[in-house]
Amino acid sequence: METVREKIARLKKEKNAIILAHNYTTAEVQDIADYVGDSLGLSIEASKTDADVIVFCGVTFMGESAKILSPGKTVLMPVPDALCDMASICSAESLAQCKAKHPGYTVVGYVNTTGETKTQMDVCCTSGNALKVVSSLGSDKVLFVPDRNLGAFIAERIPEKEMVLWDGCCPIHDSITREQILELKGMYPGSISMAHPECRKEVLDEVDFIGSTEAMLNECKKSDNSEFIVITEVGMKHRMEKECPGKIFHFPESAVCDSMKKITLELVASCLEDMTGEIVLDDDVIRDAYLPVKRMTEIR
């Protein structure tokens, strides 16, 4: 009897498929993926693969970005309704209205948005390159959407730019408090602390390092320290433990992104077998979102 892992391996060969997984997916999903990474790394990987089929283990905006970058490929989501709460708060229509109120502003949009919303942006960014993207702009006036915490993090570091911020956030990162990080620091003295820039300023002000999921992993890898407090979604712990043997990681247990946890090996196997959960975007969405997303993958 074929195991689910064997079935996935067979189907991957038969369909010339690649499996991409975000750092927040479960350990079992990460372990069968061809590539595990942050939003930027996953987009870059999707843009350069020779596979015909991309199985995207992540939330829908990630699959949509892969489709925008590789419109000729079939992009399948094992859980088609794995939504990012942040991506749902900034529609293309409301962004168009906001742009009309801010003529002359360059629109920088976080990748955690729908494909349709991306059609309204000048350039897209991830938490991994947001500072570089905003710094690289010729314009001094920036409308940044939709994460107010990431926007404030950038504005503080590039004060010469006038930044207008959309009032959105990731409910998971935004609900982590200063008290939680102080409590973890009290429990694990000597740890190096780090946080994702989707966290509030009151949290970011308390940590030693701020970066995307991949940047935090790299920081742990190169550090001589053996203990770390990591303020982001708990799925990240698996890769950190796997790639930093002997090191210890402490996470806020409340930080769980339910959409990422819905993806199972059985769902990966069945979407590949039946070719279901395909990302379908209008041609004009792909055409208009391509440039902002492509620019994002080129600024590292």
Give 298's contacts (C-beta < 8 A, 6+ positions apart): none
214 contacts ligand SF4 (rule: CB under 6 A): no
Size of the site for ligand 13P (CB under 6 A): 12
What is the separation of C-alpha 298 from the centre of its chain, rounded to a whole number of angstroms?
16
191 contacts ligand 13P (rule: CB under 6 A): no
Residues 48-67 that bind ligand SF4 (CB under 6 A): 59
Binding mask 206-245 for ligand 13P (x = CB under 6 A): ------xx--------------------------------
Exposure string for 56-78, b = 16+ CB within 10 A, e = fewer: bbbbbbbbbbbbbbbeebbbbbb
Q: Cα separations (Å) of 256 from 25, 124, 176, 233, 251?
A: 10, 25, 11, 5, 10
Nearer to ligand 13P, 12 or 109 (CB): 109
Find the part of the chain contacting ligand SF4 (CB under 6 A) among 12-20, 84-92, 113-121, 149-157.
Answer: 84-92
Exposure string for 147-167, b = 16+ CB within 10 A, e = fewer: bbbbbbbbbeeeeebebbbbe
Residues 64-83 that bind ligand SF4 (CB under 6 A): none
Give the residue, chosen from 21, 32, 53, 84, that forms a contact with ligand SF4 under the rule CB under 6 A. Answer: 84
Nearer to ligand 13P, 129 or 191 (CB): 129
CB 279 within 8 A of CB 113: no
Q: Are strands 106-110 and 123-125 parallel, antiparallel or unpaired?
A: parallel
Q: Which residues bind to ligand SF4, rule: CB under 6 A?
A: 59, 84-86, 112, 170, 172-173, 198, 233, 257, 259
Q: Which residues bind to ligand 13P, rule: CB under 6 A?
A: 23, 38-39, 112, 126-128, 170, 196, 198, 212-213
